[in-house]
Amino acid sequence: YQVQGVTANMVMTSVSGHLLGLDFSQTYKKWNSCHPTQLFDLPVNKECKEANMINIKKTLEKEVRGAQMLIIWTDCDREGENIGMEIVDVCRAVNRNIKVLRARFSEITRPSIERAMQTLTQISHTVSDAVDCRMELDLRIGAAFTRFQTLRLQKMFPDSLGDKLISYGSCQFPTMGFVVERYKEIENFVAESFWKLKVIHQIEDIRVEFAWQRNRLFDEDIVKLYHEICQENPVATVQNCHSKPKSKWRPLPLDTVELQKLGNRKLRMSAKSIMATAEKLYTQGFISYPRTETNIFPKELDLNPMVQAQTNDNRWGEFAGKILTEFGGPKPRQGKKTDEAHPPIHPTKYSNSLQGENVPCYLCSSFGTVLCM
């Protein structure tokens, strides 16, 4: 393969998530070795300790010994940049002079891979450092507070918490607070009966339901009284009529949160199963990278082939064709968010042969993309 104009033999290998992990030295792993507050200042080490990761590390060290160039192909987000830097650190410990380049891509398709090879860049140290900072904060805060509150509460309640671990996480703990708050609201809710008037008028196939200005009352006798008044004089008089224009905006291009909301609302899928399915479709080359905060299509992305592929569908293919012929080509509504890493989620190739949960998730991506054009 031609790499920057030079024919090269390429060897591909892979990792599985983070290769290295942060931890305190063995001296301070015992809970009574230091006061919890010291954990905010003690040095931490980034090492490869998990058994399955050690084997991956050995593979990298073996392959890089005779290599002249290392190209990082991890996901193009913050976590991917940090994992890429971990690979670089492992490889440079064996081959310190190896040249490192970064491939940036958002979909696993031939054009995207070839474009990434033609535009190889440098790996971002600042983005990787930001992830290291977050990981170190998670470790220090989690370890310090977990030790502090566990030892404190075990001492205060030895009978009930003497052998319990009271874990603390900087994200999990506030989330648990929201869950408990909502649980208490549901538990303390007292149901109360109410009554309302419902007026419906229908002429042929036109059906109108009128809303009562008072909406509902909690006194049944009063509502019955109003109902009797209405029955005594069943002919209604239109006292006023006014109208105002209403616009129905096209949906914005899909980001991760909107994909999860759409999948949950329309398909009744959980956020976890939506993302698992989306990542599977991504690795199979059907959709772009599903973890993105972007709802703006970049100007350099050619949307015509994407819409053209959807004209084969018997459900929205006709509409996709109109976008290309009658509407002057795709002109997507643009949002205001971008993570500067990935475009909005979109189909990368057409398929009508998917099965199981792959089908609805792919439909969300395809139909949502066509609608926003």
Each residue of 253-282: pLDDT tens digit?
A: 889 999 899 888 888 889 899 899 888 888
Q: Report the pLDDT value the prediction gives residue 347, as an integer from 0 to 100.
A: 86
Distance from C-alpha of 361 to C-alpha of 221, rounded to nearest angstrom: 50
Q: Report the pLDDT value the prediction gives residue 360, as an integer from 0 to 100.
A: 60
Mapped onto helix, strand or coil, the DSSP state of residue 190 is: coil
Q: Is the pLDDT of residue 310 over 80?
A: yes
Q: Is 266 within 8 Å of 364 (Cβ atoms)?
A: yes
Stronger pLDDT, 133 or 169, i.e. the higher one:
133
**How many residues does the structure list for the chain?**
373
Mapped onto helix, strand or coil, the DSSP state of residue 3 is: strand
Q: Report the pLDDT value the prediction gives residue 268, as an integer from 0 to 100.
A: 87
Query: Rounded mean pLDDT of the chain?
Result: 88
Catalytic residue list: 289
Q: Report the pLDDT value the prediction gives residue 8, as an integer from 0 to 100.
A: 87
Q: Lowest-pLDDT range, 208-217, 254-263, 297-306? A: 297-306
Give the CA distances from residue 133 to residues 82, 156, 264, 327, in Å, rounded to whole numbers and listed in that order.
Answer: 11, 34, 33, 48
Q: Is the pLDDT of residue 96 over 60?
A: yes
Directed axis angle between helix 256-267 and helix 358-372, to 10°?
120
- Position 362 confidence tier, pLDDT thresholds 50, 70, 90: low
CA dihedral sign of residues 58, 62, 68, 72: negative
Secondary structure (DSSP) of 232-256: HS---------------PPPPPB-H
Q: Is the pLDDT of residue 189 over 60?
A: yes
Maximum average pLDDT range among 32-46, 162-176, 333-347? 32-46
Give the CA distances from residue 285 to residues 1, 99, 130, 278, 355, in Å, rounded to whole numbers and listed in that order.
Answer: 21, 29, 30, 11, 15
